[in-house]
Amino acid sequence: MKAISKLKKWLLKRVEATDEAVLQSKNIYILPTREGLIFTLLIFIMLAAATNFTNSLIFFFTFLLVGIALLAMYMTQKNLVNLHFSLSHIQPVFCCQPILFPLVIQHNTARQQNIADDHYSIAIGFAKKDPNNTIFSDICSGEKTIIHLSAQSQQRGLFQLPVLTISSCYPLGLFYAWGNIQLKSHAIVYPQPSTSFFHIPLNGSNSEGQSDKGRGFDDFSGFKAYQKGEPLNHIHWKAYAREQGLMSKTFLGANNHEYWFNWNDLSGDTESRLSQLCRLIIDAHNKGDRYGLVLPEQRIAISQGITHQHVCLKMLALYQVA
């Protein structure tokens, strides 16, 4: 078993990261399982008995079992051949939350357009095995199958999907076939929002000056060009129908405000400040406020909406990440 473990570690070093991966015969490995070794021992015992007693019936069953073993070995490897793997969109998460990797699997039918080739009991998991993360799935020919692999985030930044091991013991469990793949894809991990600080941000404008003019929903103020992420109910649909472009309504009032979240206004080390800024951004977004972000040598203008929130949180996640 130690030799097999060393072999697997050596094979992992040969895996190259790609955008998509297809398992082919040249990168699929196969070894007998414990049951397969017992089955092989049984064949040798039967062969010795058939030779010793010159019994044709035992010879017949011996060669029959050999044929079954060879067929099982072929089918076990074929069960993995031409499987195509790619990743769908990965949702960002906050630090210490599980990351879900939507893995898209389909049969590569480029050379077998008219041949149905289903795959059964395919095991997908991380190369550094965790029984809780191993998923078994059947792959039907001509159909896409999406499974979600979960990994725990430990720190902010970019989380690289670990090497995956695709394996199968189908159909008889006599052989274990596997292949390793590495997909180029990173999940964005935001800082963990702080829960133990109090801070009143300064009102601001895009020039970082003071402003007591909020942007609430009390009084209609006028129209401006629509920006992605603004509420749909603020769009001036009549102007859009007259082909005047996509405009949105602006309002004056005190129901929501503009803020600048400035790195220099906070205290603590780097991770503590990022955690505090993360909390401020989440709270402002939930209130519908407009806000901007100021980091050392980086700045994002005041805006609002889910896209603006993601841009700000992404900047925090990647701050000083090599």
**pLDDT score, position 176:** 94
Instruction: Tell me the per-residue pLDDT of 3-44, one tens digit each, with 9 for 90 and over.
Output: 667 777 777 777 888 889 999 998 999 999 999 999 999 999
Token pair 């274990």 in the structure block, residue: 176
What are the CA-CA distances from residue 131 to residues 9, 46, 128, 134, 293 (Å)?
18, 37, 10, 5, 42
Closest CA to 107 of 75, 76, 142: 142
Instruction: Tell me the per-residue pLDDT of 276-311, one tens digit each, with 9 for 90 and over.
Output: 999 999 988 888 888 999 999 889 999 888 899 999
3-12, 14-23, 73-82, 108-117: which is most confident: 73-82
Helices within the chain (DSSP H only): 2-12, 34-53, 56-78, 237-241, 270-287, 306-317
Predicted TM-score (pTM) of the model is: 0.74
Q: What φ, ψ does residue 54 adopt, rounded to 5°?
A: 50, 55
**pLDDT score, position 251:** 60
Work out the average pLDDT over 57-81. Answer: 95
Mean per-residue pLDDT over the chain, rounded: 83
